[in-house]
């Protein structure tokens, strides 16, 4: 983090919907136009330096998916469509009609599904290496089951970088830290409910419904979600802008300032 940069402490709320059957942990900070961020599998905390930088220009809200630590009720959700309906109810509960939506990988899939179903739900849409499509000749890496050594090489452009080493040193991957490992398993199991055995749950049939201005961001060395998917997403969302940045799948953690700047410029 740059010297002199103020570290934000986000506010944390618990928002219940469906008479308490589903609860969302929501972290928020910043000022400006509202921006809702949807996290992915391997983000241990939904608040990150990337979001801190966005919060300098937007009011950022980061909900945790049901089933991940801090949120609950994933067992009451039937499928991706039910998850989308739950998020629609959450946005109502937060008083947000058309915020900017930003998501990474699984979170990008969720954001895209929301806007494909509820076409006026987003002012603008920024998707970072979104999941949700399937190409037989270029399968996504199965990030839910890869051993840590392969996972590092798949997620990060440079597994020896400072960001990658810090991530690898997380308690999540310490075999002696049972609570942290349990949280990691809980988070991945919650995601798996909506993407296993392959992530194609029909989103390809709905992408043409997205009318919000859309930015697709990809690391040019993304080994988890090959660049063939970037081209496919751009082809299927009318007018979508595709931007490649130096980095791997964890682009927003490898280069939080560069990635946040690209998102902020697009959102205006």
Query: Quick check: is 181 in a domain?
Result: yes
CATH assignment of the domain containing 71: 3.40.50.1820
pTM of the predicted protein model:
0.93
The reported pLDDT for the residue numbered 172 is 59
| Residue 168: domain span | 11-267
Give the separation between CA 234 and CA 150, rounded to whole angstroms.
Answer: 29
Mind listing the pLDDT tens digit for each residue in 178-224? 566 666 777 778 888 999 889 999 999 999 999 999 999 999 999 99
- Flag whether 29 is in a domain: yes
Q: Is residue 175 part of a domain?
A: yes
**What's the whole-number mean pLDDT along residues 56-69?**
95
Q: CB neighbours of 241 closer than 8 A, spacing ≥ 6?
A: 213, 214, 215, 216, 234, 266
Share of the chain above pLDDT 90, in %: 80
- 83 located within any domain: yes
CA–CA separation, 239 vs 228, rounded Å? 18
Question: From CA 189, how far away is CA 187, in angstroms rounded?
Answer: 6
**Taking phi first (over 0 means left), then psi (-120 to 50 degrees means alpha), and beta for anything else, what does residue 239 get?**
left
Is 2 inside any structural domain? no
Mean pLDDT of 60-88: 96
Check residues 212 and 42 and name the one with the higher pLDDT: 212
Mean pLDDT of the region 22-42: 96
Residue 1 lies in a domain: no
What CA–CA distances, in Å, run from 148 to 165, 188, 193, 252? 12, 14, 21, 20
pLDDT at position 175, please?
59
Number of domains composing the chain: 1
Q: How far apart are CA 187 and CA 144, in angstroms?
A: 10
The answer to whether residue 6 is domain-embedded is no
């Amino acid at each position: 983090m740059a010297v002199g940069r103020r570290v934000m402490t986000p506010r944390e709320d618990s928002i219940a919907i469906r008479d308490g059957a589903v609860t969302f942990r929501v972290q928020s900070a910043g000022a400006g136009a509202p921006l809702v961020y949807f996290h992915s599998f391997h983000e241990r905390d939904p608040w990150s330096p990337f979001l801190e930088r966005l919060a300098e220009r937007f009011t950022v809200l980061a909900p945790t998916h049901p089933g991940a630590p801090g949120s609950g009720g994933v067992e009451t959700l039937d499928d991706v469509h039910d998850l989308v309906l739950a998020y629609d109810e959450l946005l109502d509960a937060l008083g947000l009609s058309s915020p900017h939506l930003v998501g990474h990988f699984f979170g990008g899939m969720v954001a895209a599904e929301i806007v494909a179903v509820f076409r006026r739900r987003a002012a603008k849409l920024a998707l970072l290496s979104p999941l949700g499509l399937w190409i037989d000749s270029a399968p996504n890496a199965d990030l839910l089951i890869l051993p840590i050594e392969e996972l590092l090489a798949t997620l990060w452009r440079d597994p020896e970088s400072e960001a990658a080493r810090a991530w690898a040193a997380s308690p999540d991957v310490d075999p002696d830290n049972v609570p942290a490992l349990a949280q990691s398993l809980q988070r991945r199991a919650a995601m798996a409910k909506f993407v296993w055995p392959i992530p194609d749950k029909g989103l390809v049939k709905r992408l043409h419904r997205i009318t919000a201005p859309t930015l697709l961001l990809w690391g040019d060395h993304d080994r988890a979600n090959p660049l063939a998917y970037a081209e496919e997403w751009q082809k299927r969302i009318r007018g979508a802008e595709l931007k490649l940045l130096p980095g791997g799948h964890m682009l927003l953690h490898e280069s939080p300032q560069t990635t946040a700047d690209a998102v902020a410029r697009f959102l205006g």
